[in-house]
Amino acid sequence: MRLHPVHLRRSTDGPPGRTGPLLLATCALGWVGAGCGAPEPGKHVTVADSAGIRIVENGSVARHAAPFQLAPEPLFRIGWQEGEHAFGRIVGGAILSDGTIVVADQMAREAIVLSPRGEVLDTIGGPGQFRALSRMATLGGDTLVFQDGLGSVSLFHRETFLKRIPPDRATFDLRMLGSDGRTRIFFGPPRVLEPFPSGEPDRWISLDIPAVDARTGAVETFTTVDFALQTSGNPLAPQAAVAVTGGQVVVARQDRTEVRWLDSTGQVTQIARWAMPRVMPSDSLWAAVTEEYRLQREAIMRLTGGAAGVPGPRFSRGPLPYFGKVLGDSCGRVGLAEYLPPRSDPPTRYFVIAPDGEWLVSVAIPERFEILAITDEYVLGTHRNAFDVDAVSVYRVIAATGRSGEPDGCARGVL
């Protein structure tokens, strides 16, 4: 979703204002098209058309690397020091048109409004407004969309409440994916579709992606995509990945090196593919997985009054998924997180694909840092320390090669 340009005010203790040509934060993260950094040696991309669908074959992407990075230290970090606002669990964030920052706190059931320097200005919602704040997105300009845990969404224009859309049977207990930047809000199935695995092999099934009209509250089936029905109990099994990028829904499967873009009618318009080797789980990881499975099955057997003896897992040791979660930006770029086993720290590397399907870079981000939003100069995110406490951080973009670029006007929005 596109937001207006963000101009952060100059101060001695916060992000300085603009002084000349600026780097794009999306360029620093690899979220740009041609002209952002040096071309990769030996890079070869082929493009074909198949029944009106653009097919982009990127070949091997092993040598791609980002010439840009975030500054070593954040411009500000709020939430860890005595006297600062204490956050519970941050589940979303955005930078508004004047540089104001909004982050959604799941535990407090409220959104906190911060100045560009990290000062707390106001709060939105609270337990009386949100029953269980779980997701946040934007819907054009400075309109904010918050989802509670029961499927309803509330719309605000900045701090002003606009309306609440009650849950529908089609969206109840589904997570909000994002919006098209205009009127439609997309929802997807929950991550775990089989909470009590039977031990049978996993299988892929077709499930609906519903869309809600923010003006009328009407719900329609936007498209149908593949999702994994997790019956084996293997926590390393591949999953489906769905995100919204540039107002478009993109879908992927972690067992395939392929991402698909859907148009406003839910039809596939572009497919990007690449070559990447599969990685097998290490001996220590596999031992931990099988032991966790045994303990979980024992607990289930005790709860259900079953036999005391629990056999080992039926699933076999196969390759790990190619990637983890999928993120999108307001311009249609797609970020694929490196795959990490469940309950790992946040990923520290993303693979980035341009809106035209061309593979761009592999880029590193700080440890224990979750990206929430980006502008042409800054990256907003949340840090989680060793005590599991969240803090809101803002990083400046720097170039590892000294190269700079002009903003292209398409580096803004919520990831």
CA distance 118 to 159: 17
The pLDDT tens digits of the residues spanning 263-279 come to 999 999 999 999 989 99
Return the structure tokens found at 30. Answer: 């690899």
The pLDDT tens digits of the residues spanning 173-212 come to 788 998 988 899 999 876 555 556 666 778 888 889 999 9
CA distances from 245 to 126, 188, 207, 333 (A): 29, 14, 20, 6
Does residue 6 lie in a domain region?
no
Asked whether residue 406 carries a pLDDT value surpassing 70, the answer given is no
Per-residue burial over 1-21, b if 16 or more Cβ lie within 10 Å, else e, is bbbeebbbeeeeebbeeeeee
Question: Looking at residue 147, what is its pLDDT?
Answer: 92
User: Residue 62's pLDDT band (boundaries 50, 70, 90)?
Assistant: low
- Give the total number of structural domains in the chain: 1
- Calculate Rg over the CA atoms of the chain: 22
Q: Which of 36, 100, 49, 17 is nearest to 392 (CA)?
A: 100
Does residue 291 lie in a domain region?
no
For the ranges 136-140, 267-271, 374-378, 407-411, the one whose mean pLDDT is highest: 267-271
Does residue 330 lie in a domain region?
yes
Question: Looking at residue 97, what is its pLDDT?
Answer: 83
Does residue 301 lie in a domain region?
no
Domain span including residue 119: 25-280+318-401+409-414
Question: Looking at residue 256, what is its pLDDT?
Answer: 94
Kindly report the CATH number assigned to the domain that includes residue 52: 2.120.10.30
Q: What angle do CA 272, 273, 277 make, to 5 degrees?
A: 150
| Residue with tokens 């994916």, as numbered in its chain | 177
CA distance 89 to 86: 10
Distance of CA 279 to the CA centre of its chain: 23
Does residue 45 lie in a domain region?
yes
User: Residue 53's pLDDT band (boundaries 50, 70, 90)?
Assistant: very high
**Once rounded to an integer, what is the mean pLDDT over residues 79-93?**
93
Does residue 12 lie in a domain region?
no
**Once rounded to an integer, what is the mean pLDDT over residues 30-51?**
54
Does residue 14 lie in a domain region?
no
Does residue 72 lie in a domain region?
yes
Q: What is the largest CA-CA distance in the chain?
A: 71
Name the 3-class secondary structure at 414: strand
Q: Which of 247, 253, 252, 250 is nearest to 269 (CA)?
A: 250
Name the 3-class secondary structure at 297: helix
